[in-house]
Amino acid sequence: MMTDPIADMLTRIRNAVRNEAVAVDVPYSKMKHEICKVFVEEGYVVKFEIIEREPQGILRLQLRYGLDGEHVIQSIRRISNPGRRIYRGSKELRPILGGLGITVLSTSHGIMSDRQARVRNVGGEVLCEVY
């Protein structure tokens, strides 16, 4: 049994970027699906697709690289975890690397980036940081 599936997803992405893989497969869940939507909106992932399989589907993420092959995702790390939940209000959200990175939040309005959360004036659980 996996205790932190989001951390597992982030680790798979981190390892795929290190190996300069074109795509990475992650077991499907609704929360991971929503996190992937944020990654696509913010430009860290080109696209993703859902592959239906039994007993659990798969999310296949196509990773983004620069023109010369430089990594778009320099760092991706889990902030809140099952043993220690971290929450931030909208006023406590600070830009990552002066706005070059994002924080992914789980809010009452769904999963969104810190930019969207500041615009909507909502806070929530800090899931991860990406830059």
Model pLDDT for residues 16-66, shown as the tens digit of each residue: 999 999 999 999 999 999 999 999 999 999 999 999 999 999 999 999 999
CATH class, 5-130 region: alpha beta
Angle between helix 5-18 and 30-42 (nearest 10): 40
Which element (helix H / strand E) includes 5? helix 5-18
The backbone torsions φ and ψ at residue 80, rounded to the nearest 5 degrees and listed phi first, read -85, 140
In the chain, domain spans:
5-130
In eight-state DSSP terms, residue 127 is E
Q: What is the mean pLDDT of residues 60-86?
A: 96
For residue 62, what are its two tokens? 């196509």
pLDDT at 1 over 90: no
Predicted local distance difference test score (pLDDT) of residue 58: 98
Say if CB 10 and CB 77 are below 8 A apart. Answer: yes
pTM (predicted TM-score): 0.94
| 2 confidence band (pLDDT: 50, 70, 90) | confident
